[in-house]
Amino acid sequence: MRTIVALGDSTTAGTPGFRSPIEAPPDGAGDVRSQYAWWLMQARPEWRVLNRGVNGERSDQIRARFERDVLAAMPDAVIVIAGVNDIYQGRPAAAVEEELAAMYAAAAARSIPVVAGSIIPFNTATVDQNARMRAVNDWIRACAAVRTELAFCDTRAAVAAPEAPDRLVSSPDDLHPSPEGDRLMAAALEAPLIRLLARARPLR
């Protein structure tokens, strides 16, 4: 059994359809299909994917939980998707990049490979918000291009409408993906996880 931690904000938690185990202990609450972690485990029953998302958190708040929610679990890999709330609240792209870099470094120090997901769209985003999201996502992609322990996953593209890359393919509230969007996100995450786990430490 491989253990993977899914770390992030509402994108990971499953908002609005599901509350993560952190938000509603011990097992979470709501429609389990509203979390990409659930879809990953349907595709890969040999994986245990721990949903460690918290709705509304910025990247600095997610980073503050890294030791408790990631390192303490001693996972075989971690998925990090963070930054949308920073952008929503007006913080610059550089602030998100600093927090993500710290999380990537913390994982590397413990030899935990990272799937670095891109910030997904929300339908009410302004031109400026979309520009800052794209700046962060370009930075994530560039980081992964030069670091073997980091795999980029374009989760934004996975859940975007085919003819409107800055809008969700389907959403119950114009801010978060529907369960179908979570399924699409899981499908995109599966391949980079497989690659990283194949290079990771042997199965315990």
What domains are defined for the chain? 2-199 (3.40.50.1110)
Look up the pTM and report it. Answer: 0.96
- Of the candidates 106, 195, 82, which has an alpha carbon nearest to the alpha carbon of residue 148? 195
Give percent helix, percent strand, percent coil of the chain, each to the nearest 5. 45, 20, 35
Grouping H, G, I as helix, E, B as strand and the rest as coil, residue 92 is coil
Do residues 189 and 155 touch, judged by C-beta distance below 8 A? yes
- Of the candidates 52, 102, 51, 74, which has an alpha carbon nearest to the alpha carbon of residue 201? 74
Distance CA 33, CA 134 (A): 27
Distance CA 57, CA 82 (A): 8
For residue 41, the Cα-to-chain-centroid distance in whole angstroms is 15
Which helix (H) or strand (E) is 80 found in, with range? strand 77-81
pLDDT at 199 (0 to 100): 81
Half-sphere exposure of 11 (CA within 13 A, CB side): 28
Length of the chain: 204
pLDDT at 201 (0 to 100): 56
For the chain, 204 residues long, the average pLDDT of each consecutive 10-residue run is 97 98 97 98 98 98 98 97 98 98 97 98 98 98 95 98 95 96 98 91 48
Phi/psi at 185 (nearest 5 deg)?
-65, -45
- Of the candidates 52, 107, 104, 54, which has an alpha carbon nearest to the alpha carbon of residue 76? 107
